[in-house]
Amino acid sequence: MKRKKITIYDTTLRDGTQGEGISLSLEDKLKIAAKIDSLGVDYIEGGWPGSNPKDMEFFKRIQEIPLKYAKISAFGSTRKANTAPEKDKNLQAIVASGAQVACIFGKSWDFHVEVALRTTLEENLRMIEDSVRFLKEQGLEVFYDAEHFFDGYKNNPQYALECLKAAERGGAEVLVLCETNGGALPSEIVKVMGVVSAEVKVPLGIHTHNDSDLAVANSILAVEAGAVQVQGTMNGFGERCGNANLCSVIPNLQLKAGYLCIPEDRISSLTEVSRYVSEIANQVQPNNQPFVGTSAFTHKAGIHASAVLKAADTYEHISPELVGNKRRILVSELSGTSNLIYKARELGIDLSSANGQTREIIERIKTLENEGFQFESAEASLELLMRKALKEYNPSFKLEGFKLILEKQGNEEIVSEAVMKLKVKDSIVHTAAEGNGPVNALDNCLRKALEGTYPFLAGVHLTDYKVRVLDEEDGTEADVRVLIESRDAKSSWTTVGVSENIIEASWQALVDSIDYALYKYQKEGQVESLSSQPDVKALPGSR
């Protein structure tokens, strides 16, 4: 049976940019538009050409980019009161933008008409009809966004419906009911959709906001009540609490409710597109974001992991591959044997012949996590721990000792210097280095000592350094956990250290970071086998 088509109207580049902390350059907008088009949505709203030069330039530049799926829409408002549409600058800018589609909003709430627009209810109806008709006459496909429709309907249902009928008379292709304040309950959406469907003949759309954490649910129920278009944003970006999150709306409608929103072969790119948009917008994507978050298909409890290994759908509502995500099994103090076996398999470690050691490794992990280690966010340290326990890897160097010298004179900044002695292969290396703080000095000194033997370490960079106090009640004597993220040209990895001394915790994480890089390069065949005697004290958590 042919599935009912629901058109997806993406407004990330306009409504989404109204979210706090989101500011996109022209180049950002062009990149995001091209990426969202690759997902297969039907419409991409580029902005409001009448509001600023950047948006007008976007409409000019986007014409140079070949889009495969989406039409570009220009946003704007109805004409001003007592102004002919052909003389209204906003409507003129929409036409001048060169966009194929126009989406204009008008007031549906009598309160807004009289207070915000300061005009009569009759003039507002003329503004809606005239504006839609003018844009239709210019050859544009026109959608009408009925702003504050649900609040307007509560206050004056007859007038709210008259506003829709005015847009219908003007020739609008879709009447989009906007839940602008984000306060409506799902039952209200369904009830109003039913009334409106009986009053107008033009197809309906839905545009919801997330102020009550119901934007996705309200969008889905609106579709089930007859809406054929959903407006929303990638990752739910938008003003206040955001807009309907298309990364949840699309898979719910397409994979569960039986509708067709985007081409079937494109839904597996959803996670990639979602994360790309977050990256360009410089936004941290929540790990627990449904469908596309890194934790969306992550299992930590041993019972869950054991069941998932037998049958994934025991604890997963869909296969993560359907939306381009992947399953993750974490190893922590909650883990059982199943977690460790799965994680080892993921890392290319064979535990099948080491069953006697599996329980020992688990107990070691639980002991370390009880001390404050956290391996679920430091998988490089976890891999090293397992490989050392299985005698698959020996530390590549051994610390003979180091000294840190901190000096401050008067109002000058503190100068940090590290002096270090290492055993590297069969040689003793003695070196010193300065840094912007003691940890940076240690990092610089360690690299300086090793780069003569392993020059490729020059391409490894520390990209993030996090410190967390584990028990604030202990004050300055509290244990701290240090997470270090490192990166080379190909990948990134995270390591962990814990101690009551921040320098010791940082040193543990630094050593693991370099050790992991050396192991990685050895595995890739870039260096000869690394030699050193096994050093139990090099295991994470040793003090």
Amino acid at 96: A
- % pLDDT > 70, the chain: 88
Q: Give residue 354's pLDDT.
A: 54
Average predicted confidence (pLDDT) for the chain: 87
- Among 190-199, 292-301, 426-435, name the one with the lowest average pLDDT: 292-301
Of residues 466 and 241, more confidence is placed in 241
79-98: pLDDT as tens digits: 999 999 999 999 999 999 99
24-40: pLDDT as tens digits: 999 999 999 999 999 99
Residue 374 has pLDDT above 90, yes or no: no
- Among 112-116, 422-426, 444-448, 474-478, name the one with the lowest average pLDDT: 474-478
Amino acid at 532: S
Q: Give residue 305's pLDDT.
A: 57
Report domain extents, the chain. Answer: 7-280, 298-371, 397-538
- Does residue 450 contact residue 397 with C-beta atoms inside 8 Å? yes
Residue 453 has which token pair?
């033997």
- Does residue 449 contact residue 429 with C-beta atoms inside 8 Å? yes
Q: Give residue 529's pLDDT.
A: 47
Distance between CA atoms of 59 and 183, rounded to whole angstroms?
33
Closest CA to 499 of 451, 536, 542, 435: 542
Confidence of residue 472 (pLDDT cuts 50, 70, 90): low
Residue 11 has pLDDT above 90, yes or no: yes
Of residues 473 and 425, more confidence is placed in 425
pTM for this model (two decimals): 0.71
Q: Give residue 313's pLDDT.
A: 74
Q: Give residue 538's pLDDT.
A: 37
Q: Please, what is the Cα angle at 528 between 523 and 531, to 5 degrees? A: 95
For the chain, how many residues are written? Answer: 543
Distance between CA atoms of 261 and 125, rounded to whole angstroms?
33
Distance between CA atoms of 236 and 281, rounded to whole angstroms?
13
CATH superfamily ID and name for 397-538: Alpha-isopropylmalate synthase LeuA, regulatory domain (3.30.160.270)
Confidence of residue 356 (pLDDT cuts 50, 70, 90): low
Closest CA to 128 of 142, 114, 111: 142
- Among 310-314, 368-372, 386-390, name the one with the lowest average pLDDT: 310-314
Distance between CA atoms of 145 and 156, rounded to whole angstroms?
18
Pick the CATH number of 7-280 from 3.40.50.300, 3.40.50.720, 3.20.20.70, 3.40.640.10: 3.20.20.70
Of residues 356 and 506, more confidence is placed in 506
Residue 135 has pLDDT above 60, yes or no: yes
